[in-house]
Structure 1
Amino acid sequence: MRGILLALLLAACATTPDPTLHTIAVPGTGRSIEARLCRPEVGGPVNGGPVNGGPVPLAIINHGSPGQAAARGGMRPQPCSAEAVRWFLDRGFAVLLPLRRGYGADTGTWAEGFGPCASPDYAAAGRQTAQDIAAAVAHGRRLPGIRPQGVLVVGQSAGGWGALALAANRPEGVAAVVNMAGGRGGWAGGQANAVCAAPRLVAAAGEFGRTARLPTLWVYTANDSFFGPHLAAAMHHAFTDAGGKARLQPMPRFGRDGHSLFFGAGGSAVWGPVVEAFLRAEGYATR
């Protein structure tokens, strides 16, 4: 009898849907993406005060893109226990973690390709990423218990590049963007510190800057093997010279490859103070 009850319990657990997972339709594509929503704990801090059942601010964290195409299908949204996610939860943010078209369970065409290495279209690739992020923003703003204004968009690597493209579209409800090692085309030909047609990446950053008016924070480390300090500075100059608002924060070496800073173990102790200062400067009250 106990064996039967245990089997029934395990079967029920196996079929119980994960309440943190959401399906988000991407307008104009006929496709949907998966996302995880993590909420701050009741009784925890919310922008300097306790959680009292009122609406909380939303941070949307956007992932990078693995170097191997085969790895995209195995991706899943980061868990709520992940260090980078906990950092925002501990400061009273709800956190939405979307995948994008071509990642995880979505088996449709990968939307973010930039074309041949010799002539990449980085701006178009960024706009595709931004389209998925925008769908996540719209979805998150409608959720119960979430403030529809003051959304913070955070992106790492390809997600950071897409966040800059999103900023260029002046998205409704978004207040600020944090770009963690954003870019595309790194490790060209399997070589560290090699970027496909790097001047095109710089030019695309300038293209985004022409219409981006949201405040943005750019965080890059000294030993980022994808987008090193000189390239990061060139992209930042192109973005701001075109009219974009951006603060570039160079960071020291981190681990074996600083490109992993945002999601890396112990990374929040390094980037956390910088992001917190940015949030305070932009009117987010943090503990």
Structure 2
Amino acid sequence: MQSINALSALVVLAMVCTQSAIAQTRFGAQGAEGEPNRMQQWLLPSPDPATPAHAVLFRPPGDGPFRLAVIAHASTQNVLRRAQMPQPEYRALASWLVVRGFAVLVPERPGHGATGGKYLEDQGGCDEADYSHSGRATADEIAAAAGYVRTQPFVRQDGMLIVGHSAGAWGALALARESPQDVSTIVAFAAGRGGHANDLPDQVCAPHTLMAAAGEFGKAARVPVIWLVAANDSYFSPELSKQLANAFRAGGGKVDFYVLPASGSEGHWLAESESGVKIAGPTLDRALKLLASTAAKKR
């Protein structure tokens, strides 16, 4: 009985300490700016009150206000791989955006790396994968981080750009329901979930379910999407990606789909490498300018 009471006391003490630590969390910048591009570590709110999200922020010179670009990282269903993930930075892609006048936020979502906590975007098993839930959960995580940074004086309140990669891009598609006044454009690099099923290239868990969820996201979409995939992506091939983009479009979403040249030995990681960003840059530049021109004509 004494050992049970002692254990209960330890559990209560741990809960109190955890709640106290959460209450004392200081969101915002956690240190001085550094290179490249005024890189700075931040702590941000997440949908899980017990788990502040780690993030990096990059900024152009000056005080702003700057348009905000949020980069949403890839993920994995494997618990150990998620725990061991280094903090995502996407330095080459962030630099590309900073040069174009964006403040760039790269938040690490709960269940990953240093942020830890509960994995909120779990899609479930391969055969019964719930891609709608995982996408919306990821969207909520992106929105929580972006919402805090948008309160900062160096950030403009309009024209936010959401750039997603893989599972992050899948979550970004769920954010296409947002007001165009808040989010101007979504860029989806190799959007999808369930790729490399059983660690096999060109195998996807429940592809028909993935297609149905893409159509569901398209029904509520109000923000235009630029969908990019490398020719040698073995997680979500150009053929499957085009089918997903078409399902999103058929649901009612506006999407411009582009197949990019092959990147390295595995095109799925194009968004993470300097060489990949060089491949994607010209197409992305043209697509963003075209959307901006179209939007200006409608005003």
State which of 210, 214, 227 in structure 1 corresponds to 2:223: 214
C-alpha distance in structure 1 between counterparts of 2:30 and 2:45, whole Å: 19
How far apart are the structure 2 equivalents of 1:256 and 1:79?
21
Aligned to 1:224: 233
- Return the letter of the residue paired with 1:34: H
How much does 1:41 deviate? 2.6
C-alpha distance in 1 between matches for 2:127 and 2:252: 28
CA deviation string 1:95-151 (max 9, x = no partner): 000010111223322111111111111010001100100112211211121111100
2:163·2:187 contact (CA, 8 Å) conserved in 1? yes
Q: Secondary structure at the match of 2:272?
A: coil
Structure 1 runs not aligned, ≥5 long? 1-15, 43-52
Higher relative contact order (CA 8 A, sep 6+): 1
| Paired letter, 2:82 | R
Q: Which residue of 1 aligns with 2:6?
A: none
How many pairs align? Answer: 258
TM superposition shift of 1:63:
0.6
Instruction: Please give the alpha-carbon distance, in whole angstroms, between the structure 2 residues aligned to 1:172 and 1:66.
Output: 32
- The partner residue of 2:64 within 18, 42, 54 is 54
TM-score scaled by structure 1? 0.84
Determine the C-alpha separation between the residues in 1 that align with 2:131 and 2:77: 16
CA distance in structure 1 between the partners assigned to 2:162 and 2:201 by the alignment: 28
1:160 alignment partner in structure 2: 169
Q: Is the 8 A contact 1:170 1:212 kept in 2?
A: no
Deviation at 1:221, TM superposition (A): 1.5
Q: TM-score, normalised by structure 2?
A: 0.81
Q: Separation in 2 of the partners of 1:32 and 1:170?
A: 26
1:121 equivalent in alignment to 2:130: yes
Aligned-pair RMSD on alpha carbons? Answer: 2.0
SS at match of 1:266: helix
Cα-to-partner distance string for 1:177-218 (whole Å, 9 max, x where unaligned): 000001000010111000001111111000000001101100
| SS at 1:261 equivalent | helix
Higher helix share: 2
Q: CA 1:283/1:234 → structure 2, altered by over 3 Å: closer, same or farther?
A: same
Deviation for aligned residue 1:64 = 0.2
- Local SS of the residue matching 1:163: helix
Residues 110-189 of structure 1 aligned to structure 2 (within 5 Å): 110-170=119-179, 173-189=182-198
Q: Percent identity?
A: 40
CA contact (8 A) 2:197 2:204 kept: yes
